[in-house]
Structure 1
Amino acid sequence: MKAVQFEEHGGREVIEYGEFPDPDPDRDEVLVDVKAGALNHLDIWTRKGLPGIDLEMPHIPGSDCAGVVEEVGEDVTRFEEGDRVALSAGVGDNRMDDPTLDPKFHIIGEHVRGVHSEYAAIPEDNLVPVPEGVDWEVAAAAPLVFQTAWRMLIHRGELQAGEDVLVLGASGGVGHAAVQVAAHAGATVYATASTEEKLEYAEEIGADHTINYEEEDFSRAIREETDGAGVDMVVDHVGAATWDESLKSLAKGGRIVTCGATTGPNPDAGLNRMFWNQLSVIGSTMATPEQTEEALELVWDGTFEPEIGEVLPMSETARAHEIIEEREDFGKVVVVPDSEL
């Protein structure tokens, strides 16, 4: 088969698309004929190299895909040949409310070989059914960002109807999912983006107020919009570049929920503001199977709509990385095996 792969960490030049041994599914795995995959920021970080993660090389990236079951292992009971499926990439139990939290929790594509290839052998427990009529691009683009946003806002952040929530980077993968989740929950949604086109899109998917962070400090704009009160929740997956302004945007007793730090993980903590205003910081990663099902049911029925910014052949995955790194487009970037085009 052909697969996206790299043999060392580095810039986009390390990405290749070429021959790779066909996967041989274990007893509890399903061999999937991949029809589409989607990229996330974690693909960029994995390519560059994440501290503490020693990947088997060559590494196949990719934590989102959808396709057709080609073969099932002897112990597989939930799927059979011909079923339509999508990947839910978290392996193990990552629930912070469970004292049996799995210390071996990891993510397919980030810690182990991923799914941006013509075929992928995937554990049965990491697959979700995809209804007929759902486009492959949508099925590939939805799982990671919508389950992440759903758990982050609804289960970890406990967002309530009537609250004010600020979503940073509202046109990106997790950002555009978070706007839709927050609007669905009945919150008043404030959203930031860098261009008028992206701001208009944020309004189309549920934002009530938008802020161009290239033209003004979003914390100042939030104070003006809320008569100095601030918002109840900030969804910050950006990190170091936005942390201080995120804290300034919160009302007393407010909370930040975060699932990532694309601009760096070590901002000034702002402890004085945190304790004085009695703020909470809530971390969240991926979702449980039940939470993933909750979120994806709302994708499959059309309540939530993943935005597909670009569809490229897998042989142009380096270009897909460039689009994400340079923030050239909004929504998800999807890659399709060249053999499917």
Structure 2
Amino acid sequence: MRAVYAESISPQAPLTGLKFGELPEPEVPEDFRRVRVLASSLNHHDLWSLRGVGLGEEKLPMVLGCDAAGIDDDGNEVLVHGVISSPGWRDDETLDPRRSLLSERYPGTMADYVWVPARNLVPKPPELSFSEAACLPTSWLTAYRMLFTTSPAAPGSTILVQGAGGGVATALIALGSAAGFRVWATSRSARKQEQARALGAADVFDAGARLPERVDVVFDSVGEATWSHSLKALKPGGAVVTCGATSGPAPSADLNRIFFLQLKVFGSTMGTRDELQRLAQFVAVTGVRPAVDSVLPLAEAHAGFERMVREEVFGKIVFDHAG
């Protein structure tokens, strides 16, 4: 089968190990279901895999990708939930200490087929194209959980999204605006600031800028580059919700500010199958759609990865498996 895969690992030059070509179908557990993938999408997780984070040399070659929309062997249009929990686990999948993401222990979604447990399949709403649906299972699901499960803020609150442009940030802007939050966003790029406005941001600011007023909750997936600003932007008693650190871990937790202003810090990771199903229904009912940066044939995946490395992306890069 055709696949985009990691052939080797390099922390310094990750794209040297990225390949497109034919791989044999993998050996998978008997209870896994096969899905013919029609669209997949790119995440920072795929770049981290090529750097060796969460992926060891002994697992190579490994098909990359956590997100997919396609058709199962029964003819159902489905989304693939990329969190693979332990066989007997029935609680919140993100709390399973033995969980993994597709492309870590099991082959990922950037191939003609992917195999997952039956419980990892969610019906695709007919209102969504396969390209739109393929954007939901990782970054949009992460944003949904941050906004509606982890965050203490209610609609009508003012929230700040750091680093407008990436998949999680654009999802937070679109979902938050549709749900009735006053959404502010930051970016170093004037172009991305205007794109954030078009997604529904009520106002946009330069990275690190002083805000007109303090906010109820900050959503931060950037880490070191924005952490200090995130804490300073909060009202007393406010909260920061973090799901990642793409710029590196925060050098200081700034505990004096946290305890004196009684700030809260919440960690949030991915989301559950049930949350993915609710997210799919939410976008179908509201008309909100993922911001798609570009759609490329699967064979041209390298160009999409290069675009992410150069930080040129606004929204999601989608790979069309039909081409």
User: Shift in Å at residue 83 of structure 1?
Assistant: 0.8
Q: Deviations over 1:13-42 (max 9, x none)?
A: 211111111245543221111111100111
RMSD (Å) for aligned C-alpha atoms: 2.2
Matches within 5 A, 1:105-144: 105-144=99-138
Paired amino acid for 1:2: R
Structure 1 position 287 matched with structure 2 position 271: yes
2:3 match: 3
Q: Is the 8 A contact 1:255 1:279 kept in 2?
A: yes
Q: Deviations over 1:318-340 (max 9, x none)?
A: 22111112111311001123xx2
User: Shift in Å at residue 266 of structure 1?
Assistant: 4.1
Paired amino acid for 1:82: G
Q: 1:53 to 1:283 in 2, by over 3 A?
A: farther
Of 48, 53, 56, the match for 1:50:
53
Of 309, 313, 331, the match for 2:293:
309
Structure 1 position 92 matched with structure 2 position 85: yes
Q: Is the 8 A contact 2:49 2:55 kept in 1?
A: no
1:149 match: 143
2:19 match: 16
User: Shift in Å at residue 204 of structure 1?
Assistant: 1.9
Query: Could you say what secondary structure the match of 1:192 adopts?
Result: strand
User: Shift in Å at residue 184 of structure 1?
Assistant: 2.9
Paired amino acid for 1:139: A
Q: 1:55 to 1:66 in 2, by over 3 A?
A: farther
Paired amino acid for 2:7: E
User: Shift in Å at residue 53 of structure 1?
Assistant: 5.6
Paired amino acid for 2:82: A
1:27 match: 30
2:42 match: 39
Paired amino acid for 1:46: S
2:224 match: 240
Query: Could you say what secondary structure the match of 1:104 adopts?
Result: coil
Structure 1 position 198 matched with structure 2 position 182: no
Q: TM-score if structure 2 supplies the norm length? A: 0.91
* Whole-angstrom distance in 2 between the partners of 1:203 and 1:296: 23
Paired amino acid for 1:151: R
Q: Deviations over 1:267-319 (max 9, x none)?
A: 31111111111111100111122222111111233532101101112222222
Q: Is the 8 A contact 1:35 1:68 kept in 2?
A: yes
Q: 1:117 to 1:289 in 2, by over 3 A?
A: same
* Whole-angstrom distance in 1 between the partners of 2:118 and 2:60: 24
Of 82, 101, 104, the match for 2:98:
104
Q: Deviations over 1:33-76 (max 9, x none)?
A: 11111001111111111168666111111000111113xxxxxx
User: Shift in Å at residue 163 of structure 1?
Assistant: 1.5
Q: 1:262 to 1:110 in 2, by over 3 A?
A: farther
Q: Deviations over 1:123-181 (max 9, x none)?
A: 11111111335211111112222221111111111221221110012221000111122
Q: Is the 8 A contact 2:55 2:104 kept in 1?
A: no
User: Shift in Å at residue 211 of structure 1?
Assistant: 0.9
Equivalenced residue count is 317
User: Shift in Å at residue 247 of structure 1?
Assistant: 1.0
Which sections of structure 2, spanning at least 5 residues, go unmatched?
none
Q: Is the 8 A contact 1:43 1:110 kept in 2?
A: no
Structure 1 position 300 matched with structure 2 position 284: yes
Query: Could you say what secondary structure the match of 2:134 adopts?
Result: helix
Structure 1 position 176 matched with structure 2 position 170: yes
Structure 1 position 326 matched with structure 2 position 310: yes
